[in-house]
Amino acid sequence: MSDLRIAVLGVGVMGADHVARIQNTISGARVAVVNDYLTDKAEALAATIPGCRAIADPLDAIADPDVDAVVLATPGPTHEKQLLACLEHTKPVMCEKPLTTDVETSLEVVRREAELSTRLIQVGFMRRFDHEYAALKALLDNDELGTPLVLHCAHRNPAVPPHFDSAMIVKDSLVHEVDVARFLFGEEITSIQIIKPAANPAAPQGLADPQIAIMRTATGKHVDVELFVTTGVAYEVRTEVVAEKGSAMIGLDVGLIRKGATGSWGGQITPGFRERFGQAYDTEFQRWVNAVHRGRSAGRSTGDFTDGPTAWDGYAAAAVCAAGVESLDSGNPVEVTMVDRRTIPRA
């Protein structure tokens, strides 16, 4: 089977990482086209990859006959237009989160994909592919913990860029725990409240950091998340499920523990999300490439070109985060408004 020819749109932090991943780690695919708003950047990158071209217009890159599949690593506000172009040209697409930046456009994307009766969109919620999250999910699915009751999460970053505001803590950081909660518990989130404790004195003026998110699922399960993005320390993502027959926790950074001659004892803390979730991104991309190959073999009209979070998962996350931003302003719990999934066939 010939390699999948992939166009990567947006070659910033994530896009450049994904280009290197596809070229060096993933089998069955190669980067055939790169595109970036900064055309010089795309051209310079293309020149380093055999058989790769830079195409200046993202929509031309999607439509190009020598492109089999697309990776969107452009900023969220550009996703809607680029996703609709992928659907128009029936091109499978791995879209970095978010699906789109608001609930209405996310729902429109879900509806347009459903009209094609083909699942073309996968959303980059990579934690589902992390070995630790997969082990936690397997414990729950195998009923080894009994009924899950509570999910405690912590999501800490050492620092964020200057443009990062309080709502982005909900939409860009919490969004991952929203997907994790839906993934682990297998049900929708129905309400959310964001609590703002006293702000970190070291945080930029006006940034509500830390924040505590409290969510409730359809069957009444409790989820709480500490979000703290200016710790000045390291990247920490911890998740604990408390269940009927015990509890289980991941994200403790307990890799190598070293005892030093100076009397020191300890391990390494993870500097950032690319180090913490490198394996997850690799697995996510390999499984996506395999799914696209399978979909192409099955035929374009009825195929499923995904193996992971779908457009619906992107829409559900957008709905929860929109309610979260509303709660950030009011301080009150906010009900999550979503359409009934059964009204959209194949969603």
Ligand X SMILES: NC(=O)c1ccc[n+]([C@@H]2O[C@H](COP(=O)([O-])OP(=O)(O)OC[C@H]3O[C@@H](n4cnc5c(N)ncnc54)[C@H](O)[C@@H]3O)[C@@H](O)[C@H]2O)c1
Interacting residues toward ligand X by CB under 6 A: 9-15, 35-38, 58, 73-76, 78, 96-97, 124, 126, 172, 273
Q: Shortest distance, CB of residue 209 to ligand X, whole angstroms?
A: 18
Tell me which residue has its CB nearest to ligand X.
12
Q: Shortest distance, CB of residue 88 to ligand X, whole angstroms?
A: 17
Which residue, 13 or 298, is less far from ligand X as judged by CB? 13
Which residues face 217 on adjacent strands?
189
Which residue, 60 or 188, is less far from ligand X as judged by CB? 60
Q: Shortest distance, CB of residue 18 to ligand X, whole angstroms?
A: 9
- List Cβ neighbours of 117 (8 Å cut-off, separation of 6 or more): 301, 302, 345, 346
Which residue, 38 or 138, is less far from ligand X as judged by CB? 38
Q: Shortest distance, CB of residue 298 to ligand X, whole angstroms?
A: 28
Which residue, 15 or 251, is less far from ligand X as judged by CB? 15
Q: Shortest distance, CB of residue 313 to ligand X, whole angstroms?
A: 13
Which residue, 118 or 307, is less far from ligand X as judged by CB? 307
Which residue, 186 or 272, is less far from ligand X as judged by CB? 272
Q: Shortest distance, CB of residue 127 to ligand X, whole angstroms?
A: 8
